[in-house]
Structure 1
Amino acid sequence: MKSNKLHVFLILSHVFIALAIFALPFLSKIYSFLILVFGLSIIFINKNKNNEVLLVSAYMVGVEVFLRMTGGNFNNEYVKVCLIFYMFLGMIYSSFSKNAFIYVLFFLLLVPSAVLTTTLDTFNVNIRKILMFNLSGPVCLFFCAVYMVKRKILLSDLQNVLLIMGLPIITTTVYLFLYNPSVKDVVTGTQSNFETSGGFGPNQVSTILGLGIFIFFTQLVLFSKSKMTMLLNVSLLIFISYRAIVTFSRGGVLTALGMIICLLFVVYFFSNQKGRSKFSLVFFMTSLMAIGIWTYSSLQTNGLIEKRYANKDALGREKADRLGGREEIMNEEIKLFIDNPILGIGAGMSKSKRMETTGDEVASHNEITRLISEHGIFGIFAFLVLFITPLILYVNNRQHLYFLSFFAFWLLTINHAAMRTAAPAFVYALTLLSVVVEKSEKA
Structure 2
Amino acid sequence: MKTKQPTYLFIVGLHVLLALAIYLLPFLSKIYGLLLPLLGTVLLVNTQNKNNEALFLAAYAIGSEVLLRMTEGNFSHEQTKYLVIYFLLFGAYYTGVSKKSFIYIVFLLLLIPGIIIGANVLGEATNIRKAIVFNILGEVTLFVSAFYCYQRSVSQLHVEYILKAMALPIVSLLTYLFLYTPSVRDVITGTQSNFETSGGFGPNQVSTVLGLGMFCFFALLVLYSKTKKLQLLHLFLLIVASFRGIVTFSRGGVFTAVAMMAAFILVLYWFATAKAKNLIVVLSLSAFILGGFVWTYSIIQTDGMIENRYANKDARGREKTDRLGGRETIAKTELQMFKDNPVWGIGVGKNKEYREEMTGIVAASHNEITRLLAEHGMFGIAALLILGITPLFLYLGNKQNLFVVPFLIFWLLTINHAAMRLAAPAFVYALALLKVQFVDDTTTVPRESAK
> TM-score normalised to the size of structure 1?
0.98
CA-CA distance at 1:121 after TM superposition: 5.5
Distance across 2 between alignment mates of 1:243 and 1:295? 13
Q: In the alignment, what sits opposite 1:40? A: 41
Distance across 2 between alignment mates of 1:121 and 1:9? 51
Q: In the alignment, what sits opposite 2:445? A: none
Moved more, 350-359 or 210-219: 350-359
Residue 121 of structure 2 contacts residue 350 of structure 2 at CA under 8 Å; is this kept in 1? no
Matches within 5 A, 1:16-35: 16-35=17-36
Q: In the alignment, what sits opposite 1:380? A: 381
CA-CA distance at 1:53 after TM superposition: 0.2
Q: 1:125 is matched by which residue type in structure 2?
A: T
CA-CA distance at 1:439 after TM superposition: 7.7
Distance across 2 between alignment mates of 1:121 and 1:95? 38
Q: 1:223 is matched by which residue type in structure 2?
A: Y
Distance across 2 between alignment mates of 1:165 and 1:178? 21
Q: In the alignment, what sits opposite 1:189? A: 190
Moved more, 240-249 or 116-125: 116-125
List per-residue Cα deviations over 1:246-266 (Å, max 9, x = no partner).
000000000000000010001
Residue 263 of structure 2 contacts residue 406 of structure 2 at CA under 8 Å; is this kept in 1? yes
Matches within 5 A, 1:409-424: 409-424=410-425
Is 1:154 the counterpart of 2:174? The answer is no
Flag the 1:293–1:342 CA change in 2: closer, same or farther, 3 A: same
Q: In the alignment, what sits opposite 2:342? A: 341
Is 1:314 the counterpart of 2:315? The answer is yes
Is 1:57 the counterpart of 2:45? The answer is no
Q: 1:86 is matched by which residue type in structure 2?
A: F
Q: In the alignment, what sits opposite 1:122? A: 123
List per-residue Cα deviations over 1:269-299 (Å, max 9, x = no partner).
1011121121121112111111111111110
Residue 367 of structure 2 contacts residue 419 of structure 2 at CA under 8 Å; is this kept in 1? yes
List per-residue Cα deviations over 1:93-116 (Å, max 9, x = no partner).
111111111000000000001001
Q: In the alignment, what sits opposite 1:93? A: 94
Q: Percent of counterpart pairs with the same letter?
A: 52
Distance across 2 between alignment mates of 1:17 and 1:253? 25
Q: In the alignment, what sits opposite 2:146? A: 145
Q: 2:56 is matched by which residue type in structure 1?
A: L
Q: In the alignment, what sits opposite 2:324? A: 323
4+ residue stretches of structure 1 with deviation over 3 A? none
Structure 2 segments unaligned to the other structure (5+ residues): 442-451
CA-CA distance at 1:19 after TM superposition: 0.3
Moved more, 115-124 or 400-409: 115-124
List per-residue Cα deviations over 1:176-215 (Å, max 9, x = no partner).
1111111111111111101100111100000000000000
Distance across 1 between alignment mates of 2:338 and 2:90? 37
Distance across 2 between alignment mates of 1:401 and 1:439? 17
List per-residue Cα deviations over 1:195-249 (Å, max 9, x = no partner).
1001111000000000000000011111221111111111111111110000000
List per-residue Cα deviations over 1:15-41 (Å, max 9, x = no partner).
001000000111111100011101111
Aligned residues: 441
Residue 111 of structure 2 contacts residue 379 of structure 2 at CA under 8 Å; is this kept in 1? yes
Partner SS for 2:201: coil
Distance across 2 between alignment mates of 1:18 and 1:358? 43
Matches within 5 A, 1:133-282: 133-282=134-283
Residue 367 of structure 2 contacts residue 418 of structure 2 at CA under 8 Å; is this kept in 1? yes
> TM-score normalised to the size of structure 2?
0.96
Q: 2:395 is matched by which residue type in structure 1?
A: Y
Residue 394 of structure 2 contacts residue 433 of structure 2 at CA under 8 Å; is this kept in 1? yes
Q: In the alignment, what sits opposite 2:13? A: 12
Distance across 2 between alignment mates of 1:291 and 1:284? 11
CA-CA distance at 1:359 after TM superposition: 2.6
Distance across 1 between alignment mates of 2:371 and 2:200? 27
Matches within 5 A, 1:360-371: 360-371=361-372
Distance across 2 between alignment mates of 1:7 and 1:274? 30
Structure 1 segments unaligned to the other structure (5+ residues): none
Partner SS for 1:153: strand
CA-CA distance at 1:8 after TM superposition: 1.2
Distance across 2 between alignment mates of 1:44 and 1:69? 30
Partner SS for 1:395: helix
Q: 1:42 is matched by which residue type in structure 2?
A: L
Q: In the alignment, what sits opposite 1:111? A: 112
Moved more, 118-127 or 377-386: 118-127
Distance across 2 between alignment mates of 1:87 and 1:164? 15
Q: 1:342 is matched by which residue type in structure 2?
A: V
Distance across 2 between alignment mates of 1:274 and 1:125? 62
Distance across 1 between alignment mates of 2:76 and 2:357? 27
Distance across 2 between alignment mates of 1:335 and 1:356? 13
List per-residue Cα deviations over 1:68-113 (Å, max 9, x = no partner).
0000111111110111111111221111111111000000000001
Distance across 2 between alignment mates of 1:84 and 1:234? 32
